[in-house]
Every structure is written in C-alpha cells, then in structure tokens.
Amino acid sequence: MNSQLSTRKFRFDETLVAHATLADLEDGLWRRFAPADSSDTAETLLSKLAMAAQDEQGVWRPIVAGLLMGCRAPQRFLSSAYVQAVAYQGHSVVPEGDSIYQRDAQDITGPLDRQIQEACHFVRKNMWVAARKLPQGGRQDLPQFDMLAVFEAVTNAVAHRDYSMAGSKVRLRLFDDRLELYSPGMLSNTMTTRCPCTVGTSWTSGAKACLSSWQRANGFRAGAPSTACMTTANCC
C-alpha cells in the first residue's frame, strides 16, 4: 500500500491538466529551462522538459509540473499550490489576551521558484537582527537565521510536498525563537526519519528537475528535509 501511494505521488506532477492550454504557460517562464539555441517547436521543447503532453484527442496541454514552473498563476488550476507565511508575536500561535499575535502574514503565490524567493524575503524582513560592536570599530549584524539554511529548507518544503493533496498548502511559521515549515504529504521514497538526508529518487519529476536546474543556475545546492524547524540557538 505504501509503495503504491509513493508511486502515485511521484507521478502526480506528470498528470495532464485537462482544462488548461499551452496559452496558460508563459514563454518567459518555461523557456528559462530550454536550450537557448534549440530549433525545436514549443510543443517539442515542452515535452522534453516534461512540462506538457498530448491528451487522448492529440491536443497539447500542460501537465502539473509545467503549470507549477511555467505559469504566472498556477493557483488558478491548483488552488493549494502556494505558501502560507505568518510571523507570530511571541512563541505560540495562540493569542495571549488581547495583544496582537501576528506581526505579518502573506499568501505567497506564483511559479514555484518565485514562491521560494518570496518566502525567503518574508523571513528576512520579519526575523530579528541583533548587532554587536566590534573591538576594532564598527558593528557586526547577527541575524536570527542563516538565509542559506532558510533557502534550502523552503526549497525542499516546496519541491517535496504532495501537490495531489487538495486543500493543503506549505505553511511557514516564524516565531520569536524559531522557524517552522510544514510540507503536505508523507516522507518520500527512500527518505526516512532516521536519515532524512537520504532523498533517493524524489527529484526525478518535472517540477523538481526544473527547480534543481534553477538552483544550480543561481548557485545553490539541493538540501535535505522537507519539513523543518529551526531554532534561534541553532542558526545564530
């Protein structure tokens, strides 16, 4: 049963989206992943990128991965494909008396790489930044979290989530003492709670391959856990 569920998850982003057309894919978004000197047609390129395919009537349509990476607003077709980010006042989601318990909140939409960038920006603008004076003069900023670690955690939460789970979104919660990320779905393929760094073949699908390509182009590497909790003590 578990293996059947895992297979379904890995192949969901290869599913055709029947009510979408190639016009819903934006050239400037999906062509980032295509060779600049290719003479192939758009349909051929999209097929090679695992972003589109033909339906039973021979009509070219985007697949889930194509919409996630090549559509300006994939949420039109996949309503839960976004990151819900909230910065809380204090250490809990439960309000304390009549005090304000949320400092900031944002539903982060768009193609997956934009979601990752915007989620990192949300953390950067809402985390605490301490400072200390240096003996030689000047000061040193001490941010609450290391932004490379935040980038990798957010990337994995977005890439490894189960997009077939309607109504479930990636949740980012920022507290005074920690950052929490919740990614819908089960641990994927060979990943285990004992060794979460063993990712196996969970990066083989179209959307994850495009994200991996985008990471390399921007000088980042793929990380490990898809669900994470960072404490201030671990990141400063």
Q: What is the pLDDT of residues 169-228, one digit of tens each?
A: 999 999 999 999 999 887 655 556 565 443 333 333 556 666 666 556 565 544 433 445
Tens of pLDDT, residues 32-50: 999 999 999 999 999 999 9
Confidence (pLDDT) at 201: 33
Q: How confident is the model at residue 95 (pLDDT cuts 50, 70, 90)?
A: confident
The answer to whether the beta carbons of residues 77 and 19 sit under 8 Å apart is: yes
pLDDT > 80? residue 84: yes
What would the mean pLDDT of 41-62 be, rounded to a whole number?
96
The hierarchical CATH code for the domain 83-235 is 3.30.565
Average pLDDT, whole number, for the chain? 82
Residue ranges per domain, the chain? 2-76, 83-235
State the distance between the two ends of the chain, measured CA to CA, in whole angstroms: 42
d(CA 144, CA 100) in angstroms, rounded, equals 21
Return the sign of the alpha-carbon dihedral for residues 54, 55, 59, 64. Answer: negative
Residue with the larger pLDDT of the pair 20 and 211: 20
Provide the b/e sequence for 20-34 (b: ≥16 CB within 10 Å): bebebbeeebbbbbb
Nearest Cα to 122, choosing from 145, 100, 101?
145
The predicted structure's pLDDT at residue 31: 95
Does residue 4 carry a pLDDT above 70? Answer: no
